[in-house]
Structure 1
């Protein structure tokens, strides 16, 4: 599990705002959907192995202190076996659509960034 400091969260929030403001996106990032782009700090620009991707809402369970995510093969393009992640609410990034997304880097066991719809945060 990857822990993100307040300074890193502030940097990610800045990246999210910057990316959202750009119409054409950034070459080192890849699109989550037609309306927004994953921040480069989350996906490292890896469009080949697909570090970032939309995940089913059924894989996400809110708890008092954060989200528990249980992914199985087929839930995310990088997942080859069941993995459990915990993401505290203070490091969740608002998604640019109404879906949950997760970036797994450097391996499928490591949650790098987690995005949640604004109405679930």
Structure 2
């Protein structure tokens, strides 16, 4: 019976940690399919709005070191409007996975959609 209790406690701790691992700094939760890791090492992070340029067919995002924790050199991403996810706050966010060259999820504030 002690083993079952340990499994339940461990599972609850993992579930709490997983929820925490996918939270933006402002407190809303990134979808688990977008963010792998935690707030220190995860792929999702708020990015400066000046790095995002709207075009007729989508957003162009240019990130440099310092704009996102995973970025080590300048990267350019194109995100069509039909794959943009509404942001949980008034900021742009991007998830880079499996490498910094790959945009996994992109979030835009409601007033920018």
TM bracket, shorter-chain basis: 0.7 to 0.9
Q: Is the 8 A contact 2:47 2:68 kept in 1?
A: yes
Q: Counterpart of 1:27?
A: 18
Q: Counterpart of 2:79?
A: 87
Structure-2 change in CA distance of 1:25 and 1:102 (3 Å): farther
- The unaligned stretches of length 5 or more in structure 1 are 1-23
List, as ranges, runs of 4+ consecutive aligned residues in structure 1 with deviation greater than 3 Å: none
Give the TM-score normalised by structure 2. Answer: 0.80
Q: Who wins on radius of gyration, i.e. which is larger?
A: 2
Give the TM-score normalised by structure 1. Answer: 0.74
- Alignment of structure 1 residues 35-50 onto 2, 5 Å: 35-44=27-36, 46-47=37-38, 48-50=40-42
RMSD: 1.8
What is the SS of the residue equivalent to 1:108?
Answer: coil
Aligned length: 97
Which of structures 1 and 2 has the larger relative contact order (alpha carbons within 8 angstroms, sep 6+)?
1
- The unaligned stretches of length 5 or more in structure 2 are 1-14
